[in-house]
Structure formats: structure tokens, C-alpha cells
Chains A and B, each alone.
Chain A
Amino acid sequence: MGNSVLLIEDEPNIIEAISFLLERDGWTVRLHTEGVGAVEAVAAANPDVVVLDVMLPGRSGFDILRELRQGAAPADLPVLMLTARGQTKDRELAESYGVSGFMTKPFSNAEMLQTVRDLAEGRPPSGS
């Protein structure tokens, strides 16, 4: 399929799980494991979808999202945010910054896969 995903996440086991899930579905998964330099990684990788964790070492996922939406990346680049904090105000904040999809950990593999597919094809995420 040739579609690519940039995964920005710091938790090794979660990286392994998401990589396994997406690669098995034919995605090219690139990885960035900290907040610092994430925006540049997006620009360099030019992915179809970005999966972004909120709590990252060095820089918060919200900051990265805001910078991406302020012109560091194409305006229509789909960004899926993941959070483990489970607070509604996080979702509201992400939406105010222009997030494309928002998921709370733990997620189901099927839901994750469907959301990435939807975002890549320009559809609004059907789940969550």
C-alpha cells in the first residue's frame, strides 16, 4: 500500500505493539521516541498519518500538535493523539488545536487500525 505512519511514542512495549499491528497491515512505521525534534521528524518523514503520544519526554504532545497545525506540516496532515491520562479536558484541548483523532489508552487493536486507515483516506475517524 505504501502508506506511512510516523509514531511518536516513548513507551517501548506500546511502540512494539503499534508497530506490529500496523506493519502487519502493510504500513511503513517510522519512529520518534521523544518530544524534542518531533516536529522536524514529521517534516523529514512526510508521513500519511502521525500517531502522537501526549506524555513525551522533553516536550508535550500538545505543543507538538500546535506547532504542526501552525504551519510546520501540511494543514491536512492527519494526527491521531494517544493519551493515558483519560481526562476529557485533554481531548478538548487537543480538539481546540485541531487534532484529527483522539484515543485513550488502553485501546483495542482493531479500533487503532481502523482509525489510522480512516485518517489516511481523509475520512473522519469512525471509532471513539
Chain B
Amino acid sequence: MVTFNILVTVALVYVAALFAVAFYADRSAKKGRTKWLRSPLTYTLSLSVYCTAWTFYGAVGNAARSGLEYLTIYLGPTLVFLGFWVLLRKLVRIGRAERITSIADLISSRYGKSTALAVLVTCLAVTGTTPYIALQLQSVTLSFAAFVPSEAGGNLADLNSTALWVAAGLAVFTILFGTRNLDANERHHGVVTAIAVEAIVKLVALLAVGIFVVWGVSGGLSDTLQIIEASPVAEWRPDAGRWVGMTFLSAAAIICLPRMFQVMVVENEDERHLTVASWAFPLYLMLMSLFVLPIAVVGLAVLPEGANPDLFVLTLPLALDQELLAMLAFLGGFSSATSMVIVAAIALSTMVSNHIVLPLWLSMQGPKATVSGDVRNVMILSRRISIGAVLALGYAYFRVTGGTAALSSIGLVSFAGVAQIVPALLGGIYWRGATRRGALAGLIVGFVIWGYTLFVPAIGLLPDSLMQNGLFAMSWLRPQALFGLVGLDPLVHSIFWSMALNSVAFLAVSLVTFPSPIERLQGAAFVNVFSRGESGAGYVGGVAETEDLLVMAQRLLGAREAQTLFQQSAKDQGKLGYLPDPTPEFVSTLERELAGSVGAATAHAMVRQIDGNAAVSVQDLLAVADESAQMLEYSSQLEDKSRELEQTARQLRDANDKLTALSVQKDAFLSQVSHELRTPMTSIRSFSEFLMEGGMKAPDRKRYSKIIHDESIRLTRLLDDLLDLSFLESGQAAMNDQTASLHDVLDRAVSSAGASKGAMTVRRNPADEQIELRTDTDRLSQVFINLISNAQKYCDAQAPTLDISVSEKQGQVDIDFVDNGSGIPQSQQSIIFEKFARLSDHSSAGSAGLGLAICREVMARLGGTVSYLPGQGGAAFRVSLPRRRVAEAA
């Protein structure tokens, strides 16, 4: 008969062995002999911390009650691991690259180092894990009780004290091996090795019991199968909703449970270990589940009615007088419980310490804290206190709710709790658009619904009336029939609502909020973790070197300023020269100086990098990056501004060029006008002086008088043309549209130009000219007269002829004036429409060279053109205009 004392002794020896293993592993690691510590096997075995006492004992109990449903607890993780490269690889890579210390750190870090998120996830983790720790304590107590049923009654106090001692022992172990070193990687070789050993113990124990049951009790495989066939378990039919829900939960749990995250991501030594674990861990889970069903059905068949199926693993060997086997099973359960509690305590204490205790302490200390060197001690102390607190909380929870049936389902409740992290986690590492507010919203919504629909009812805190009638007696707020969703399994119901509303809140809020620079930076770092190099192995802090500080300060402040600062500081310390001692006072002075030029966070990070009090933390570097990002944004705004300025300058330059060009044109024009006016005036003045002298022969007098007369007319015409042109150019000339036949307009022009009586033959085709025009016919006639007069003046043919031909196409009328002269040389065709572009031939002078310029202006106003037609034999002009003038906007 195994007595209580023997059992305690065995447990103590086992714990002592664990201490030895952990101690030895830690020492080996310190000496650098880490080959077997860093093997993928150790990593895989440490993952077995997933299989707690709840799985060890509870799976059999679950199988006895609900048949194959227990398999879902293994199915979820198996799926996640088989598809490891989808999610796990990325998580591990991010964890290593960003030096993540916990699941709370991961979420907070991804969303811009949000303290609120870190605290929220930490609270979620503590809330979900505390009952779980209590569950482990309870399972240990129950397993003790299973050995000594006869002494029941009087030993309840003993059992409770057992739990207390177990909790205390675990606290000591965890504090010793979980807080020995505080390196940035948060790796605990001793603990991990101990967990790996425990993994072997529980697997061996469960397999031994299973083999005993199948071959020792049932008499072989086929007999066992027959017993299974005959048992009520065979009647069991799966509930699809629960099946899917639980598979999802266990898959989520393997990623999000704080202890799983700890061993899987934080303690990971080498990413390649995942490749082995991806098949080895599912294999381990398969072995763990292999004999669950046989043990359950044989237990149901062999043990008396009413025996607790949760303890079959233990009570079956006991009932069959296999005390050694029972002892092994006890150790298996014990190891399952202890490994879970140890890792959970480490993971939770890291979160509580990093995200709640330390920030609080730092804010109480004020700015001096970061400069002094005792941060490290505070961290270790806070870590140790947190471990004690977590275990004390678990124990207290166990004592308060101890012995109630409520504990049995707490495993799944806990899973459902941490599953709330999934949307923020997945969104965070796959979607850059995910924002801090989105994650907060999703987590809070999920947390509240989970708490209301599952956690609080599960621990029996809600009064029956509320469960029946809903909050404030509103039936749609019933915890297990939210929004009128009745008839679902409470677990599935809770998963459905919490996950659905969590995801919706996360997505919706992420979409409508804008990430801060640091969030964007982190989002990119997380989502694109694989596109980054393997660099950044981490900075190793050195001893403060004032000279290094001086070098840096000179770079940032300028040599003279830096030297003055250092010299002054040295003088204040009573030293000569430029190198003061790197006292905290001096370092903080320097930081303040540097902050002026590079920003506070950068200065802090840079000084600390050299100062060596602490390695540069991820936080520091991110703060630097954040500042840089803001600077970049600022400088890009500056760039925009300078681009605008440049544009404005260019516009100004263009405008100035245009004005200059206009002014040059104006000068040239005035100079031309001057020439055109002064030339006839010269003749007029000269000849009138001759006439004034008197004594001139009559023919001469007559001739000179005629010159004066002609030149006066030329002057007048020039003035008329100038006025008309400036009138047209200024846009003030109003067009008076009339309806008239083109034939009539041409008739009038030909006769006004005097062409019908002159030497020139004008040939027309009246049939083509029967086109009704709606335009300013007076102005059009002016253009025609100009062109006909030009032909009269400049056509140098023996028998000058002008052909006027008309054609119409799609409302556009073309009138061509082609003479039979020598035409206009090609070099001058492009300038004839310019002002004063009179050709060099003065034989038929009398025009100031403004005629064609006026024609061009008129035609523009009529919505048409006048252009020179090359290659027609003589000079050829085409007037082109719409049949109906389109009224101008003005």
C-alpha cells in the first residue's frame, strides 16, 4: 500500500531531480556546451507543455463522457504544425527579429508599442491562465487523494496543504531557473531542459498505462476493439459545431496560450527546429492520444459505477493492484501539471513585470530611473514577485472554487479566452492596414463577450435569474443565447459571438483609423519579416568611453560646441582637459544637449549605445525610427513646399519672359510705326519747303503738290489701319452678324476695290457662290477688299488675272484668291501676316503693311482663318470660315 508519505517523498525526489536537470542544463549553457540543449528534439519535447494535467487525465475523462471529441484537442495543434510554414515560421521569425518576450509583447510591439494593448493582453492572459493553474493544482491534489481514498474525510486539510506546498515548490523552482539571467532573448535552458524531461516522463507514463490496459487487462488489440464496440462510447455521435469549434480553439491555443508562445517562439533557438517539430510534435500528440480511448472504455467496464473518469489513468492500475504503474502514472500527471505551471508562470510573470510592474515603477521614479543602473535589479525583483503573485493567484483561485465541478471545463474556457488574440495577431502579421485602435477594439469586444458568455458563467458567478432572463431582464442579453441565438452549445455559442464580433470590430476600426508612423513602421517590419536580411544580431553593450561620447557629440553638435561642453563638464568634476567621467549627471546633460539636435529618443539611444548601461532596446530603436519617420514626413512636406515655390518661380519667370517679349515686340512695333509715319512726313516736309521757297516752274509745283497730297493720304490710311488693328486686337471691335449671300459680299468687295474697272481680270464662278452666310459681312468684305487690292498692287503678270473660287464642306466655306503673278517667295510666306511685313518691292507702295495683319485679326474674330496657299502658280490666299459664326463668349 502506497502511503501518503511515500507519495510525497516520490514527488519530492522527482522535483529534486528536475532541479538537478535544470541546474545542470543551465551550467552547461553557461559553459557554452549547448549542443544537445539546442537540438530540435529538446525544442519539440518542450512544446509538450501543451499537454497539461488536464490533457493527461482529462482526455480519458472526456473520452469516457463524449467519445472521440477529445481528439479535437490534438487535431488543432496538429494542423497548425503540419502547415507550420504558413504561420509558425513567420511568428518565430518575427519573435527572433523583434526580440519578442511574450504574446503581449508581440501584439503591443506590432501596434506601435502600445502600452494599452500590452496591458489588455496581459490581463486576458492572466484571467485565462489563473483558473488553468488552479486546475493543475487541483489535479495534483486529486491524484494524491486517489492513492489514499480510505483516509479521505480527515485529510482534506492535508490535501489543501499539499496544493500549497506544490505551489510554493513550483514558485521556488520557477524563480530560481526562470529569473537567473535576464538576457534580451529570455531563454531559459534549465527550464526548457526540465520541461523536455517531463515530456518524456508523461509520455512514458501514459504509454505504459495504455499498454498495460490493452495487453494486460483486455487481452490484446482485437479484444480491446470489441470492448470499445460494446461500450456506450461507440454510440457517440459527433456534434459538428463543437467539433469545429474545439478544433479551432485548440489551434488558436497552440499559438496564443502564453506558455505555448513562450516555448514555441521565445525559447526557440533556431528557426530550423520548426521543421523537425512540424512532424515530431504531431507524432508526440498522436502517441499521447493513442491509448486514451482504450483506457476510457476499459475503465468504464472495470471500475465501479460512479468512479471519476478523469482519474481512470490513475485509478485503473490502482484497482488492479499495479502500484508501481500507478506511481508512474502519478508522476506523469504530476509532471504534466508542474511543467504547465512553471512555463505559464514564467510567461505570465514576464508579461506582468514588463508591461505592468516596470512601467508603473518607471513612472514613479521619474526620468532619473533610466540613467541609474539599478533597472536590472528592479526587473529581476519584479519578475520574481510576479511569479509568486501568479502562483499565489492560482492557489487562491483553487482554494476559493476548489472541489467544484466548475474546474473541469476551465481548460476550454481558457482556450476560448486566449483565442480572442487571434484576429489581432493574424491581422498584425499579415495585414499592414491593421491599426492599434482596431486591435484594441477587437480585443476588448472579444474579451467582454467571452467573459460574459463563457468565463463568468463557467465559474458560476452569475445568478440563475440572469442566466435565465438575461442582463437587465432583457432576453436577448442572455449569456448563453446572445441576440436570441438559442440552441447552440454554450461553448460554440460563445466562440461564435466573441470571435465574430471581435473580428468585425478589429477590421472595421482598423479600416477607419489611421496608423501612427511607428505603427506603420512596425506593421511593415512584421508583415514583411521575411524580406529582411538576417542582420541585426543584436548590440552588445560595452563600458562607457567618454572619448567615444566626445567623438559622437562632435559629429552632432559641431567640434567647438562639443569640446566646450565636455571641457566645462570636466571642470565641474574638478578635472582638467576634455574628458569628464561618464557620471549619470554628465550623461544626462549630454543627452539633453544632443536631444536638441537629433530628438530625445535618438539622443537617448545613441548615448546608451556608447554608455553601455544597457543594450539598446528594441523600444529605443523604434523610437528612433519613429522620429526619423516623422522627420521624413516633415522633410517630404518641405520638399512639396519647395516644389511649389519652384513652380511659382518658373511661372514668374515665364510671365517675365512673356512680358519682355511683349515689350520687345512693342518696341519693334513703335519703331516700325515711327518709321512708317516719319517716311511720308519727310517727303511732305521737304516738298512743302521747296514750294514755300516759291519761284518754281508750274509742272514741278504741280508734281510736288501731288506728292504732298498722296503722302498725306498714305499717312491717314496708316493711322486708320493702326487704329483698326489695335481696335481688333484689344477685342473691343464688336462683330455685327448679318445674313447675306457670299455672292453679294464678293460683288461688293470686287467693285469697292475697283477691280471691275481696272487692268486686272477677275474670274469667278457665281454658281458656287450661292451660299448663305451668317457673319459680320462688312468685316468679311474688308478682308476680301484687302486681298483683291493686294493682287491688284503686286500681281506682276503681263495680263493680271485673279481667280476667286469657292467651295463648301461641312458648314466650312473656303474662298481662294489666286493670281497669275510670280507669287510670294517661300521664305516670306510665313511673315506676310505680321505687322509691317511689307515686301521689299516698293513699286506699288501706298500700303503700310498692316493689311494682312488686319485680315488675320478679322478672320480670327469671325471664327475662321486666312492663310497663304503655296504652289498655286501666283500669289494665293485662302479665306476659310464657318457658314454661321459662333458667337464669342464675351
Contacts and interface: CB of A to CB of B under 8 A. Distances in A.
| A11, A17, A55, most chain B CB atoms within 10 A | A17
Contacts of A18: 686
Given A14-B686, A17-B687, A21-B686, A105 B840 contact: no
A17 B686 contact: yes
B685 A108 contact: yes
Contact of A16 (B671, B676, B685, B707): B707
A104 B671 CA distance: 13
A13 B690 contact: no
Task: Give the secondary structure class of A's interface.
Answer: loop
Contact of B842 (A12, A106, A109): A12
Given A12-B845, A14-B683, A105-B679, A87 B671 contact: yes
Contacts of A10: 842
A21 B683 CA distance: 12
A16 B679 CA distance: 13
Contact of A106 (B671, B676, B681, B840): B681
Contacts of B682: 11, 13-14, 17, 84, 105-107
Contacts of B641: none
B235 interface: no
A114 to B, nearest CB: 13
Contacts of B675: 55, 84-85
A106 B674 contact: no
A20 B683 contact: no
A14 B678 CA distance: 11
Contact of B690 (A14, A84, A86, A109): A109
A2 interface: no
Contacts of B677: 84
A85 B690 CA distance: 24
| A11, A84, A107, most chain B CB atoms within 10 A | A84
B671 A85 contact: yes
A13 to B, nearest CB: 4
Contacts of B678: 84-86, 104-106
Contact of B840 (A13, A57, A86): A57
Interface string B819-853: 00000000000000000000010100100000000
B674 A13 contact: no
Contact of A17 (B674, B683, B840, B845): B683
Interface residues of B, number: 22
Interface in A7-44: 10-14, 16-18, 20-21, 34
B686 A11 contact: no
Interface in B305-325: none
A71 interface: no
B827 to A, nearest CB: 12
A34 B684 contact: no
A108 B683 CA distance: 10
Contact of A109 (B679, B680, B686): B686
Given A58-B840, A87-B671, A106 B690 contact: no
B888 interface: no
B675 to A, nearest CB: 4
Interface string B679-699: 111111111011000000000
Contacts of A55: 675
B269 interface: no
Interface string B843-874: 00100000000000000000000000000000
Interface in A46-102: 55, 57-58, 84-87
| B675, B677, B707, most chain A CB atoms within 10 A | B675
Interface in B1-47: none
A17 B711 CA distance: 13
A12 B710 CA distance: 12
Contacts of A17: 682-683, 686-687, 690
| A10, A58, A110, most chain B CB atoms within 10 A | A10
A21 B688 CA distance: 12
A16 B680 CA distance: 13
A86 B674 CA distance: 7
A84 B679 contact: yes
Contacts of A11: 679, 682-683, 842
Nearest to A36: B840
Contacts of B689: 108-110
B845 A106 contact: no
B707 A34 contact: no
Nearest to B838: A57
Nearest to A12: B842
Interface string B750-776: 000000000000000000000000000
Contacts of B674: 84-87
A4 to B, nearest CB: 21
Contacts of B685: 106-108
A88 to B, nearest CB: 12
Nearest to A112: B686
A110 B686 CA distance: 10
Contacts of B681: 105-106
A13 B671 contact: no
A58 B840 CA distance: 8
A55 B836 CA distance: 13
Nearest to B839: A57
| A13, A85, A106, A110, most chain B CB atoms within 10 A | A13
Nearest to B700: A20
Given A57-B842, A84-B675, A109-B690, 5 more contacts: A11-B679, A58-B840, A87-B674, A106-B685, A110-B689
Interface of B: 671, 674-687, 689-690, 707, 711, 840, 842, 845
Q: Which 8 A-B pairs have the closest CB atoms?
A: A57-B840, A13-B683, A17-B686, A84-B678, A106-B682, A105-B682, A106-B685, A84-B675
23 contacts: A12-B845, A13-B680, A14-B683, A16-B683, A17-B682, A17-B686, A17-B687, A18-B686, A21-B686, A34-B840, A55-B675, A84-B674, A84-B678, A84-B679, A84-B682, A85-B675, A85-B678, A105-B678, A106-B685, A106-B686, A107-B682, A107-B686, A109-B689
